[in-house]
């Protein structure tokens, strides 16, 4: 039974040894251990705060990047729309200019054709008048080559003039 119930002397020396170890630990080791634990706890808390701050910064940067990307897409769409509109406007302007130029050329061609037609008609009239004069001259020469024919013609003219 002695093993189960220790003696008073043993308990006394164990308590004295424990108190000496406790005193030595509290005097020399307790403060540095507690200081090291506090420093470790503070460094862990600081690391956690830094990690949380970095996480928030990453979220902010990600949101900024997404915002910039959305703005870039909008700007790209706007530029493409403007380019398409400008291209369509240029094509429409060129088409309209070509139509106007074609219409102007058609009008000029019609005017030129009309001018040429009038010139041809005038030339034909002049040629007809010239030919008529030549024919009349030849007929008159033939008829007037004879004195009797001249007198008969003069008499006919006098009768026509007096009748009118």
Q: How far apart are CA 157 and CA 151, in angstroms?
A: 10
Give phi and psi for 121, each to the nearest 5.
Answer: -65, -45
150 and 144 Cβ atoms separated by less than 8 Å: yes
Q: How far apart are CA 85 and CA 72, in angstroms?
A: 20
- Report pLDDT digits (tens) over 85-123: 999 999 999 999 999 999 999 999 999 999 999 999 999
Per-residue pLDDT at 163 exceeds 60: no
Q: How far apart are CA 150 and CA 155, in angstroms?
A: 9
- Report pLDDT digits (tens) over 38-83: 999 999 999 999 999 999 999 999 999 999 999 999 999 999 999 9
Tell me the domain boundaries of the chain. 8-163
Which one is predicted more confidently, 18 or 136?
18
């Amino acid at each position: 039974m002695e093993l189960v119930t220790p003696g008073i002397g043993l308990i006394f020396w164990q308590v004295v040894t424990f108190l000496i170890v406790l005193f030595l630990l509290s005097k020399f080791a307790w403060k540095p251990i507690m200081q090291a634990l506090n420093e470790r706890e503070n460094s862990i808390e600081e690391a956690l705060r830094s990690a949380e701050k970095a996480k928030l910064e990453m979220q902010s940067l990600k949101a900024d990047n997404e915002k910039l990307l959305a703005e870039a897409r909008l700007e790209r769409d706007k530029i493409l729309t403007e380019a398409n509109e400008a291209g369509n406007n240029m094509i429409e302007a060129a088409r309209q200019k070509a139509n106007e130029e074609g219409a102007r050329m058609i009008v000029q061609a019609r005017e030129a054709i009309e001018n040429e037609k009038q010139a041809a008609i005038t030339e034909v009239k002049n040629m007809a008048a010239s030919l008529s004069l030549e024919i009349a001259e030849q007929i008159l020469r033939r008829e007037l080559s004879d004195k009797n024919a001249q007198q008969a013609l003069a008499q006919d003219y006098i009768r026509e003039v007096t009748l009118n």
